[in-house]
Chain A
Amino acid sequence: DQQVKQNSPSLSVQEGRISILNCDYTNSMFDYFLWYKKYPAEGPTFLISISSIKDKNEDGRFTVFLNKSAKHLSLHIVPSQPGDSAVYFCAATPDSSYKLIFGSGTRLLVRP
């Protein structure tokens, strides 16, 4: 049973436009959510996070939105750049633990 789901395996966006990556979760005990970016042959790198007490967190071109009632979060990248092309993983932690549960990832391609 997947507790964190990324239903879109891939997304293609034109450079300069908005990229929206989605993530759904099933466990209401999750209280912290993170997005990681992964390039080929490298480990995932932290991108942005949000606590369950917030509904939005912004860092430059990256914004994460959390809708607790829908158990849904999304990552917005504006404007998208070709260097953003990577696999994006959504992750969640239950009960303020250090245990990350990852989604299956969405491969983003930003076309020049």
Chain B
Amino acid sequence: DAGVIQSPRHEVTEMGQEVTLRCKPISGHDYLFWYRQTMMRGLELLIYFNNNVPIDDSGMPEDRFSAKMPNASFSTLKIQPSEPRDSAVYFCASSSVVGLNNEQFFGPGTRLTVL
């Protein structure tokens, strides 16, 4: 299995631009999570989906952030407009309801830099 795939791995953009991060979960996993890692706040959950339906988006920082999961094999996290304080590493993770240990499998992350 290829694991969780994220693209791009690095993104540099200018303030005000739209940014779209992409994620392909592990096949057969029915939960998908988006996390953000910053020096100040550590690793924090933004939103998670179950069977393509958003379950908890209480971690989404503001309306500039949106996430979608149009099908079981693809999700996007969009920031519009982007701001310098959005600079962080964004991780996508997936898990299975029948998996052991509540284990979530993380992708390699997308490092976002907003200038």
Contact surface of A with B, Cβ cutoff 8 Å: 32, 34, 36, 41-46, 49, 89, 93, 98-105
- Complex Cα spacing A103 to B45, Å: 12
With A49-B103, A99-B56 as given contacts, are A105 and B95 in contact (CB-CB < 8 Å)? Answer: no
Q: Closest A residue to B50 by CB, please name it.
A: A98
Task: Determine whether the beta carbon of B43 is less than 8 Å from that of A105.
Answer: yes
Cβ-neighbour of A44 out of B31, B48, B95, B106 (below 8 A)? B106
- Complex Cα spacing A68 to B36, Å: 29
Task: Determine whether the beta carbon of B42 is less than 8 Å from that of A43.
Answer: no
Q: Does B91 contact A (CB under 8 A)?
A: yes
CB distance from A58 to the nearest CB of B (A): 14
Bits for B88-105, please: 1 = Cβ < 8 Å to A, else 0: 000101010000011111
Cβ-neighbour of A89 out of B33, B43, B56 (below 8 A)? B43
Cβ-neighbour of B48 out of A42, A49, A99 (below 8 A)? A99
Cβ-neighbour of A98 out of B4, B95, B108, B109 (below 8 A)? B95
> Can you list 11 A-B contacts (CB < 8 A)?
A41-B109, A42-B109, A43-B107, A46-B105, A49-B101, A49-B102, A98-B50, A98-B55, A99-B45, A100-B33, A102-B44
| Contact partners of B103 in chain A: CB under 8 A | 34, 46, 49
In the complex, the 7 A-B pairs of residues with the closest C-beta atoms, listed nearest first: A43-B106, A102-B43, A49-B101, A104-B42, A46-B103, A44-B106, A43-B107
Task: Determine whether the beta carbon of B48 is less than 8 Å from that of A46.
Answer: no
